[in-house]
Structure 1
């Protein structure tokens, strides 16, 4: 008996020992261990090269778990990469080949991490130098380029300025100039010394010297991909360029707009927001658009640039009606215009006709139709704007086609069931004289649109409806 009990206790101890031995594996947590990025201390991707490798180990993930590499910006916001290949290295270890996005905005504080399909994310990878942050850029453009329309010389007037611009010599060819890529930044140099704070595609210069530009890809920059060098010299002829606006600045942006006039010179090149305006090569330029306008004036061996930040003025207005509103029999719709216009006037139209007496900011709609309201500012900057809206009636519940139109009712139109209002159905209306007064598809229940000629009797018209729902014929009597 003692032998049996001893044997039973021994089996229990073995069972519980095995249970507790395996219990930690039941509750083991997922873990990912990124390895040091081999030979990678920065990401300098481009159209010619965009593939990188990241190796890591992992444990305690369910079967079928997949992994991806994520970029992290300076604020630790994740940015997806493109997985191009998974390279297994053995149990619990793999290398992922990936590509970075081609719209990546370059910076010096990116990082990498692993994310599993279960939602687990790792710590950041480290470079061989032990850094968790490193530069990452996508170089949209990797070639030499031109400034100053490829010319290596320019003359600046005493007391004036000159704008050097990155050139777009073949705008019809996509990607032929760095100006085609909005993410590209530049470094400008004068006499081989970088000019602080200048990263745009244009540079305004006021002193002589040798200027050139390079694309700024941070630590991924390549000095071999720079511009031509422009020697800017000075001339005593000419004068600083000014630009006058005929309507002042701010200006009233209505009609043909304001006329910009530059200081007199030999030739002119106008630009808006840094982009050359095609065909604008005279002393004056008319516009009704706000923006930063510049003009390069050649005085004959001496060039100078004038600038004006043109601001338009006007008024604001809004309407509280939807594009389309349905009203029922006997219902009305109140529509109001809100505006900050000075001394505003209001004109309301129905089906293109001016509504007599409707001259306030509110109109009460009682019949269906296409409406329009015109708001005008009559003092200061005289301008106007218009709003359109549509008012419809209830949907016909049956296929019954009405044979009477009452012009003095809430619905002074011939409204037919929706089954006949589509692009596959033709609606024809013929007068008693045999004249075809309507021939349309996708009829919207809005006839008549013009005045009906009443004589001694109520006029009678005849309709033909042809479509998928069959052909229907009948008469329509129009009553005042």
Structure 2
């Protein structure tokens, strides 16, 4: 008699994806898959389930393990596993599959999915943030991604694995693909920009727009931008003036040539009119910027409209980083005599303005505006019960306001019903606040009915017409 040993076998179903595409980043990189296996009784205590990820073409020849379970943890079907994609992931046709180790088995590949790890996901600059460029007839203009660019620009060139797609605008919200690469040689007029290639995944990794033109009659516009903005403050340091790319450059200030200023960029901490002439080999371009000092920052502790009760006041406080500031306060266009500090106690209703002037450094003034209005009395002393309201949000007759002998504190019962007798509000603490919610009014005015019963048993009945 012979004995044959039969090895245990298991079948793993095709994994189902818990996502449509994997657009990962440093802040998010967790994806799930669910699969079945049978029979689960043959899974050994040492078994581990493994998730393998294919290459960007769906090929598992050089697959990557993206998850391995602990031994013996997964014993029942179905099972759901979470995994993360590698930082080098970039493509539209990845697949995953499930493998087991004891017994050994492999599932079929999942459906294809787009997957990208967004190493850089913030706006970046091209052309030194200069919004224009020009080329001579028969020539071209080179657009490049800045590295490191201006200011805090996070250049995607710092991540060597990334690729880029250049586009040309065809309308206010449309564009057409032009080419791939970290630079673009342009010989056609238009507005261009570049995006980091994250396929069908949405991303914030895109550049500023640059409009390229062909020089007409031998000259073109050479736009100048200031790295610290315009106006700017010299106390922040030097600002860098940049212009379009060319063969050579010459900078001027207030019409006078600046000796040695012959590069694409020029740094300064002065104000004035700066000009540049750019040699484009077969033609020239010129540009100008009126560079001015930037003003300080200021803030106020009240909203644009502030309400107070009659006889009350509110303390207005100004915070500012202005150097040696001076303050002037105005009410309804008239200077308030003696009000020259960074605080003011306002007790009158009207339109206010405070003018802050910096007297040292970046000299200049800023205005802050606000209005003080009388607060609405939620319990006005009305003479009779109204029978019409218009809850349209204009602050006038928006709620049903009744005489004070029936409101909160009088223990009066207020009941409001629809024209079919359905009670929609019943309270002994009415706050003049009906309706609190949208009544979904049609074009036809709606009628409601009320019953007011006082603590002594006196009753008032009537109707309320709600108009749009």
| Structure 1 length-normalised TM | 0.41
Structure with higher helix content: 1
| Structure 2 length-normalised TM | 0.42
Q: Name the larger-Rg structure.
A: 1
